[in-house]
Amino acid sequence: MRILFVCTGNTCRSPMAEALLRERIQAAGNGWEVRSAGVAAYEGQPASSQAVQVMAEYGITHQHQASRVNSDLVEWADVILTMTGSHKSLLNSYFPEAQSKVFTLMEFAGVEGLGDIADPFGGSVDDYRRCAQELDGLLDRLWNRLSAGE
């Protein structure tokens, strides 16, 4: 299983989701792969300092460098999970051949409605903590779904 998380700049939400899921994958030893990218990312930019701090609070060290979504990443992924409906729409317009594997994270995790993960960019560490907590809960649901073979 290859999972790609997508947000805007690939410095906050998608790198945190990637790091949190990677921890689960390493603990389970199931061979899944996870990456992240942004629809408007500046290649090589590090994760925001608040995201790094919050991941450290989870015991995670993640040496992240931003990547822009491209056709190679889209082809690599079995499932592409976006942070917002707008990200999903952009990917579907840029990569129409991949529509069957593009979902919002909330949608794929089975959360009712089409909610978005709030962007903590420019916010306080507490904003990042709230975002990470939301992601962590959604990743629990995602993990259970994928582990069950859905």
Name the residues annotated as catalytic. Answer: 7, 13, 119
Rounded to 5°, the CA angle 87-93-97 comes to 110
Are 121 and 46 a contacting pair, CB within 8 Å?
no
Spatial separation of the C-alpha atoms in residues 9 and 131, rounded to whole Å: 15
Strands, E, within the chain: which ranges? 2-7, 33-38, 79-82, 102-104
